[in-house]
Structure 1
Amino acid sequence: MQKFSLLDLSPIPEGQTAADALSNTVSLAQAAEAAGYHRFWLAEHHNMPGIASAATSVVIGHVAGATSSMRVGAGGIMLPNHAPLVIAEQFGTLATLYPARIDLGLGRAPGTDMATSRALRRHMAPEDSFPQDVQELIHYLGDTPADAPVRAIPGVGTHVPVWILGSSLYGAQLAAHLGLPYAFASHFAPDMLAEALAIYRASFQPSAHLEKPYAMMAAGVCAADTDDEADYLRSSQYLAFARLRTGKPGKLPAPTHDLASQIPGAVMAGVKHALSVSATGSAATVKQRLSGLIDTYQPDEIMVTGMIHDSAARVRSFQIAAEALTDLRVA
């Protein structure tokens, strides 16, 4: 593992507003930059009462403007929701405003429910055009000839780094075929992590973008002064994920000492499995768990994420994680 980074969904805690969440995101990004995180990504979700990063490119610009050196980007933009030219213009503009600091991770999922997908896209194409859309987008960000009928301005010549994101084998195969960096969403979809990384590495084709495979894995983190405190703080995310899975999404719940009374056993088992690629506990516990994940999967980069109701506790959690990851980094 050479680098470590941070994924933020800009969670909206119970008792707070979207404005509070976006302010918390800026504070977290500034703390992450000071702690040594390489990049800070935000994700596109829509119609989610507990997530404030729907207009992802706008939030990326806000965070980039509030920081100075850390890379900022999308983890990711759900490309089926958008015309490739629009995303090229948005990220071309970001790259023009913040040179050499912007990343563009692309996902194939809608990032929402079907009704919201229809509202976003206006019409639903029956075919899967994701591979073609990715290549069209990369074309717009490249050295498009001056006489090309369509150009992204700003965008042309910015060469914003494009990543393929995935939680199955499809993204691994596409990233390998196109010679692009690959990020696996193991923080909520752990089952195919090992196989996806193996396929990506084995079938990678060098390209103008990348000479050899570069794989990132994601892991949940909830760190505190003690294991017990971290378990308590982590309960907010368990509750939020359980409610989402049972069709009751909402703001990020306050933590509780009594999860068993709020989440049925079968649901809790599924939630814990989905969020199992994670590290929860004191500094020593988190370091041990992250070390094990890195040894097992050998990522080039690890991206940590986590939702904690209290903003100060969330900042502290990622600071503790950064200290552990700094020690685990291999030059």
Structure 2
Amino acid sequence: MSSTAQQKKLSDVKFSVLDLVPILEGRTIAESFKNSLDLARHVEKLGYTRYWLAEHHNMQGIASSATTVLIGYIAGGTSNIRVGSGGIMLPNHAPLVVAEQFGTLETLYPGRIDLGLGRAPGTDQLTARALRRDLIESVEDFPKHVQELRTYLGPVQSNARVRAVPGEGTNVPIWILGSSTFGAHLAGLMGLPYAFASHFAPAALQAALKVYRDSFTPSDNLEAPYAIACVNVVAADTNAEANNLVTTLYQAFLNVIRGTANPQKPPVESMDGLWDASEQYAVQQMLRYSFVGGPKTVQEELQSFVDDTQVDEIMIASHIYDHQARLKSYELIADLVLKV
């Protein structure tokens, strides 16, 4: 590790939140929405930079399918925190519709809206077909669609035959999201900020950051590369308490590798008997960048992550069943990293 890498402290890095709007076992979806707004207000007071919601479909444990609607709900219930998508899955939508939606959001909440874009459908192929109906165009058209969106949201072109109204002239910040080097290269070439999904796809993180920084070309949007990494954090007063809370996350990712869809489950005393050795290994590989423990443990692990990656911002996902414990986790993190 170089001396340069050691110089960036946690206080030099911005911290933000990724919310999947979990549906809790035994609770209602309406409670999930209420909890998300409460969390957004909580982290806004704590000094977090942005609050992003992720588009998923046909998943029994996630209620963020109507992502733009929820962005408006969160932005309308908060005052200054940036609110956006982490992300909008562009293959599911016509770029003009996305531009109109986010142009409307930016007009309602000026200077507070982010548009993060992903090229996966965020669901299975059958559901993707139900969403889009016409799948003639594929994820390979993603770069073309991103550029189309930039045009719609960019300077007013009065002679254009198709215009986004609202949308044109709003210059909503566009982010490229990714879990491989494809998005990293595209973000670099386009001079856009980049966010990597290391909370579930850790393997390509370092390679993607290098590709992004090496390929970065300054643009009207951004003069220098700016990278976010998303990680899982479960913080509690003690390591033992955090290790209990994180079993909710383990059960959620066990669902992922089994291809099952269930609401978010409460923590368990032990995962023994719930997974076999191969499943445990697969879950732990996916959750490599998960920082779990009391304040000192989490602080040391986050600092080590910053040393290794030199990211500009860390976005935190926190799969915690109990709402009050989830609020407390983000509060403990803020005490560690946002208090100078």
Matched, 1:141 2:142: no
Match among 13, 35, 46 for residue 46 of structure 2: 35
Q: Could you tell me which runs of 5 or more consecutive residues in structure 1 were left unpaired when the two chains were aligned.
A: none
1:69 pairs, out of 73, 76, 80, with: 80
**What is the alpha-carbon distance in structure 2 between the residues aligned to residue 266 and residue 322 of structure 1?**
35
Q: 2:240 aligns to what?
A: 228
* Pairwise CA distance, 1:147: 2.2
Residue number in structure 2 paired with 1:94: 105
| Residues 1:12 and 2:23 aligned together | yes
Deviating more after overlay: 142-151 vs 193-202? 142-151
Looking at structure 2, the residues matched to 316 and 15 of structure 1 have their Cα atoms a distance apart, in angstroms, of 22
How many corresponding residue pairs? 328
TM-score normalised according to structure 2 size? 0.95
The range that moved more, 103-112 or 270-279, is 270-279
Alpha-carbon contact 1:278-1:289 (below 8 Å) kept: no
Partner of 1:25: 36
Select which of 162, 166, 186 maps to 1:174. 186
Instruction: Give distance in 2, aligned partners of 1:271 and 1:244.
Output: 9
* Equivalent position of 1:256 in the other structure: 268
Q: Which runs of 5+ in 2 are unaligned?
A: 1-11
Distance 1:277 1:125 in 2: 36
Q: Which residue of 1 aligns with 2:288?
A: 276
Give how far 1:190 is off. Answer: 0.4
- Cα offset for 1:280? 0.4
Residue 184 of structure 1 corresponds to: 196
How far is the alpha carbon of 1:2 from its aligned partner? Answer: 3.0
Question: Deviation at 1:244?
Answer: 2.1
Contact 1:104/1:161 (8 A) holds in 2 = yes
Match of 1:79 among 90, 108, 117: 90
List structure 1 runs of 4+ shifted beyond 3 angstroms.
none
8 Å Cα contact 2:257-2:282 kept in structure 1: no
Letter in structure 2 aligned against 1:295: D
TM superposition score normalised by structure 1: 0.97
Amino acid in the other structure paired with 1:50: G
Deviations 1:56-94 (A, max 9, x none): 000000000111000000000000000000000000000
Secondary structure of 2:199's aligned partner: coil
Give the partner amino acid of 1:216.
Answer: I
- How far 1:126 moved relative to its partner? 5.2
1:146 deviates by 1.5
Change beyond 3 A, Cα 1:126–1:96: closer
What corresponds to 1:239 in structure 2? 251
Measure the CA separation in 2 of the matches of 1:310 and 1:125. Answer: 43
How much is the aligned-residue C-alpha RMSD, in angstroms? 1.0
Find the aligned partners of 2:233 and 2:326 in 1 and give their Cα distance.
10
